[in-house]
Structure formats: structure tokens, C-alpha cells
Structure 1
Amino acid sequence: MYTVLLVDDEEEVIQVIMRKINWEELGFSVIGSAGNGVKALELVEEFQPDVVVTDIKMPYMDGLELSNRVKSEFPATKILLFTGFDEFEYAKEAVHLEVEEYILKPVNSAELKSVFSQLKMKLDQEISEKRNVETLQKYYLESLPLLRADFYSGLIEGRVHEDEISRYLSDCQVSFPGPLFDCLVIHTSSSQEAGDMDPLLLSASVREQAKERLREKWQAKSFAYLGNTVFIVQLQNENQVWELTDECDRFCRYARRMLGAVVTLGIGQVCGSILELPRSYSSAREAVSYRAVYGASRAINMKEIVPQKMDRDVISCEKQLSDLFRMIRVGSEEEITEAAGRYLHHIAIADKSLQQHCLERMELLNMLLRFSANNGISMGEDMEDMGKLYSSILDMEPDAFRSWILKVSLSFREQLIRVRSNSTESLVTGAKEYVQNNYGDAKLSLDDICAALGVSNSYFSTVFKKETGSSFIGYLTDYRLDRAARLLIETNEKSYMIAGRVGYSDPNYFSYVFKKRFGASPSKYRTEHAKSEE
């Protein structure tokens, strides 16, 4: 079933259209309707319909402006325009909007059915082309040449030295103008693939779709690495990483909807040289592991979720120790216990010398101290006498040592959970304070609040909705209307002046949203509450 959004300021027109067509028989379902372009754009952002059917003449935002916004932000969405005979030529001039069809009013059911039948065939063909096995095989066989893939993998592994860069760039015929660079890791779930499709073909399809969306704008280089797809992107300034995060998040949702693929995209640390890409790659790969905390089918930027860790070197240690720290960050108590067991088994090999055992215990303690400092959490030990702490660790019996490791590891896990919770609460509090100070600005937007807080739109929207139960736009609207309601009761100002004070430049639209919220126009609301106070 493809989804349809109907937009017309005449409710009876929408009802006629819904009755004239057997939507299910044609392969469509109507997910909702709107009476103006502003409301329609909110529904498009929330539901991402496959088709938007809109009238041209509407209040607050007309159909052409709505079509332009939809095509700009959701290019895969199809647009059908209703036009009157007198505005038909005007609509036809808007060819840059890539409108699928122009339908003259009054609506003819046979014509409408024919239009949607043709549109269904076009949508089916687009999805068929994306899922066609032969096309996927072609994508897979036409992946980057081995020489480039080896160069890119060498960069993120740290195998390429500074004096070799110019030769590699020349041999591979690639360039990295920068000036800044970032690694992205795209993980496609092999356990949740679309139907019976081969996981390799699905990953190849995701890779090709990501290349289409990211390669040109971000000058991205891509290659397959350790079962994932890695992109090396180039930025003009550090603030662009938030725009990149939002675009990656939209891609993850697109891949789920169009390809049936569960994709998590990790965004690493921004660096100033391609020789620093190993750190960026390590942090991007770690970001992907946070899908256990933040969920899959989304982009995860390590700088947003663990900001205090990003400016430090990535911890390097044996695999078992690395697994233990990873479980502390994203695992359950049971997984931490198992990881600790594997590490202890690794260091308890009998033929090691006493000196080796001591060195490994001291290494573990150093790693724990560094981890606690990097993440702003406590070891729970007396840190005044470090010599005493080292001595106690070295003197512990194996069982006591095991208990101590579990105690500290589980304590770290609980503290990290609280730190993440406090971080999101602080973010929401900052957003609310920003609204309190700037709600009167008619141009206040989600982009403004995210720029002020230094986070991406996608991360902020997820956190704000989770913490408050409301979208940011919904919260801003409610706050403005609550302030307006108080001003109507407490002052004698005209409603159009109050509208401007609370951030509405159009008094008519202010009256529309106010009535929708309170069930009465501003003037009637003032009269009713004035009587009640008497």
C-alpha cells in the first residue's frame, strides 16, 4: 500500500475525493488530510507519504510553495496538483516542481482513478528497479576497484604514511581537498534483511543508494570494510557535521521504507588530516554499537552522545579488554559479566610469569582510570593514595579480583546510564529556556534551536520527543498559545498585537491555530474568561 496525503482548504472536496475512489483496490491508503500548506508540511515531515495531492489556492501556504518544500526535502514524494481552469496555465509553468499530474476541478472520478492507476505502476517500477536482483548484482560487481579500496582501508587502519600520500593519490586518481574529513560507518543488519534477499546484495543496494545521496555533496569516498560500508566525507567547517548527521538520519529511514533494510549509520570524529582518519573511523564504528542504546534505523553521532570522550585518543587494548569496555557502554549486566569472564580467562593462562600477571592487572587499572576520567564518572575507590590502590589490586586473589572487576564494571554502567539521562535532560531544559527567551521571534525554527545547542536536528528531535512526549514544533506552538491566552486575559491589547508578541506574523493564522487549540477565537476566549472572572 502506498500512502496518500490530501490537501485542500475545502473539507467537502477532500470528502468527495475519498468517496469517489476505492483506494485499497488501487493499492493506496489515505493517511490523513490538511486544510492548508503549513499543516500539510507538518504531516509530510511526520509520515513521509508516497503521494501528496494538493490544491493550489490555500491560506497560509499555497500548493506551489508546499510542492516546492516537499520536493526539496523529500524528493521521492510524488506531487499531484488540483487546478481550476483559470489557473491551469499558471500551474503548468511550474515545471521545475516535477509535478506528476495536473488535475482540473471539478474532480472526475474516472480521471482520478486513471491517474492513480498510472502512478501505482510508476511507483511499483521504481521499487522493482531498486530491488531487482540483477541490478543489485551489477551494483555489487561495479563496486570500487581494488586499488582504491586498499588505499581507503589503509588510511583508516593507519597503514599509509605521510610521505606516501601523494603517490597513492596519483596512482588511485583521487583527491582529498578537505579541509576537514569525517568517517561514516554504515551497518546493514543481516538478521533483518528484506525477505529472502541475499544479505550481500542488500548491503550492495544500500551502499549504492547511499552513494547517490552522499557522494556529490560531501565528496564522499566509499568502500566495503569488515562487513560494513565506510564513507570518507569532506567538510568545509565543523558545523557542517550537524547537517551531515540529519541527512544520514533521513537516509536510514529511506532505506527502511524503500529497501526494507535496517541500517544504522555511525558518524565519527571530525579531523583535519586524512592521516587522522583512524581515530575518526574508530569512533564511527563505536557509534554503530550504540544502536543497542538508541535503536537501529538511524544515524548516531558520537560527539552528541559521548561529547567528553571525543577529544581524547581512542582506547587501544587487547580484544577481550576492548569487548569489556564496549559492554560497559552498551551491554546488559549479563553481557558485562560474560565479557569480564572472557577477559579473566585470557589473562589467567598458567604459563605466564608473575611479572606478566602484574603488568596485565596494572594495565587494566590504568584503562579503568582513563575510562572514568574520559567519561566523567567515578571509580568508587579512594584515589588519594594511588600506590595503595595499585598494591591492593596486585595482592587480590583471583576470586576477589573477579568480584572487584564486576563491581567496578557494573558501577561504570550505572553511572553512564545516569550521565546519558542527565545529558538529555540538560538538552531539553536548554531547549525550553531558549523557547522562553525567543518565542516571540516569528522565524524561530528547529534549525535555530539546534544551532544554539550544538546538536543535529535528528538527535535533538528524538531526545526531545522521548523526554517530553511532544515534538519541538508542537511544544513551541503550545507555549506560544499559552502565552497568548494569558495576554488575552491579563491585557487589553488587540489580538493582532498579541499574535505578533508571541511569534505569529499572520494574525489570521494565529486565530486559526488558537481556535484549534482552545475551541474558540481569541476575542471569544477573552470574553468568556472575562465573564468567568467576574
Structure 2
Amino acid sequence: MFKVMVVDDDMIVRKGIMTSIAWSEYDIAFTLEARNGQEAWSKLQEHHVDLILTDIKMPVMSGIELAKKVRSECPDIEMVLLSGYEDFQYAKEAMAIGVRHYLLKPVLAEKLVSTLTGIREQLRSKRLAERGERYRNMLINEHMPLMRTKLMNELIGGKRVSDELLEKAITLHTPLTGPYYQVAVIEQDVPDDASQHAASEAEERKFFACMNIAEETLNGYYSGFLSLHKTGRMILLANLSDACSILEACKMIQGNLQRFLKLSVSIGVGEPVVGLGIATNRPSVRFPGRASREKAS
């Protein structure tokens, strides 16, 4: 049910609005009423509404003052102002602070119904979109490691870069800004015996901690991301502004993994390449054929 508060210093006006229309037929309920802005604000501290229908001129606290407080502290609540012709200057002031709906007194029942039902549908659509976006983000976050791994495999596997691939990278918060790119391979020096079997929960936590530390360290030098390769190694992709080497960053990754996780790793660094071959026949970032040419140690 779409909940509404009506605020007016005239009790007859309040009761007329609340009872003269069969609001339940429109899935609308007037759940609160108040004589002025101060009383309305006090009730809002204990009760939620979706919309406030308020007069402008009232004692104690005007509709304008109420609108300012609501827009500042409860921005999700919509507001509709009721006013006479002589109050239009006040209405302009309210609209300047973001109040979009204004009705002249005496308001026709049809106009009031169409305004409130229109706002109700707008809010429903907005909330459904927000809920869908939250669910989408939840799914992305839940499957982020797997999706990043797939993206990395497509890049280092020589797949030509398309707009779809770039959009996927943006969705996964994996920057591909270049113009130069460099790949590195991170491998644990002495694999745990347990790695030959199904990973335990503690091992999984350690692995993701390793990924997070390495990526955070990398991003202190360059933008980029890491993923897990099918060989069990971690693959690092860095964006470079020129054809420099990420060797220094890789040494820092080694040091931080040893410091925080007591984990010894070797890192093979490929050569910088330029461009991702967008809309051309050039391949994307290649897996470095000579990964051991530079080795962080």
C-alpha cells in the first residue's frame, strides 16, 4: 500500500481529502495527518510514508520549511504542495529545492487522484529498478572471481577485443585503459600438499587474501587486476602509460605476500605490449611467451 500523510491546518480540508475518495481502490492509504509542518515532522520520526501532501501556508511551521527538512533528511519521500494563486511565489521557492509537484486549491478529485497514482507508479518503477540493480550487483560480486578469470583467459588467449568484451570489463570493475599492457604470472614457490586435494575453507580464504593483497599492491603503482589461471597460477594484467616495466611493483607484491601471509612466490613478467586491437585484426593482450625473461626476486 502506498502511504500518504496529509498536512493542513484546516481539519475540514484534511478530512475531506482523506474520506471523499475511495483511496483503497488506487492502492493508496492516508495513514497520517498533521496540522502543521512541525507536527508532521515529529510524526515522521516514528512512522514512514511514501508521500506528503501539504499546504504551504500554516502556523508554527510552513509547508516550505517542512519541504526543506524532508528534502534534506528524507529524500526518498515525495512531496506534493497544495496552495492558492496568491501563494505561487512560495511554490516557486519549494520547486527550487526539488519539490516537483504543485496543485492549486481547490483541487479537483480527478486531478488529485491522477497526481498521486502517477507518483505511486514512478516510485514503484524506481524501487523495482533499484532492487534489480542490487540483485545484479550481488550476483556479479558473488561470481566476480570466476567472471574475471574468464575475462583474463579471453584476453591472454588472443581473443580479439570487441565492444562487448570492453563492456564486460567495465561491469567487472577491471580497467582496460592502456595504452600499454603487461602481463605477469604469480606462482607459489612450494605448493602446499593440501593443494593436490580439494581446497579447504581456510585455504580458499588464504588464496583470496593473496589475490586481494597482490591486486591492492599492484594498484598502488598501476591500474589493473588479477585472476586465477587454469594452471592454478595467478595472472596479473597491468595498464601502463608507457612501455615501462612492472618489475618494481611485482617485487613489492612478493614482499607483501611474504610479510602478511608468510607466502613465498615467484613472479614471471612478460614484455609490455601496446593496444588491445579494438575493431582490428590484431590480437589482444598475449600471454607472455618469455615470462621468465624478467623475474621478480
TM-score, normalisation: structure 2: 0.49
Q: Which has the higher contact order (CA 8 A, sep 6+)?
A: 2
* Higher-strand-fraction structure: 2
Task: Tell me which structure has the larger Cα radius of gyration.
Answer: 2
TM-score, normalisation: structure 1: 0.28
* Higher-helix-fraction structure: 1
